[in-house]
Amino acid sequence: GIQVEQSPPDLILQEGANSTLRCNFSDSVNNLQWFHQNPWGQLINLFYIPSGTKQNGRLSATTVATERYSLLYISSSQTTDSGVYFCAVEGLSGNTGKLIFGQGTTLQVKP
């Protein structure tokens, strides 16, 4: 099945710094989503981005489907950005909606 790898596994930033999180996937995808899991466990939808570029405030994402990777950019980070960021994909061969999750990037933003 499709493999999803996220890097880096852990990231510590000072407030105000910028960061880039990466998601590599092993096959073509129908669906790619980025989530932020807050300290209470809630998964917050950040982007639905199987291809192209999107921006939402201080966050933006780019997926290069032909090269099988996606990037999540966080600018001017805030302490509330702390948590775990997940990339999840659905392979092109499936039509089930089944998402395969990466292991996540744990971000800590220090004041």
Find all residues with CB under 8 Å of 57, minimum gap 6, and list them.
none
Q: Which stretch binds another protein (CB under 8 A): 11-19, 41-49, 59-67, 69-77?
A: 41-49
| DSSP β-ladder status, 83-91 and 105-110 | antiparallel
**From candidates 43, 59, 65, 92, binder to another protein by CB under 8 A:** 43
Half-sphere exposure of 98 (CA within 13 A, CB side): 9
Provide the residue count of the chain. Answer: 111
Give the footprint of another protein on residues 7-36 (CB under 8 A). 30-31, 33, 35
Would you tell me which residues interact with another protein (CB under 8 A)?
A: 4, 30-31, 33, 35, 40-43, 45, 48, 86, 88, 90, 94-99, 101-104
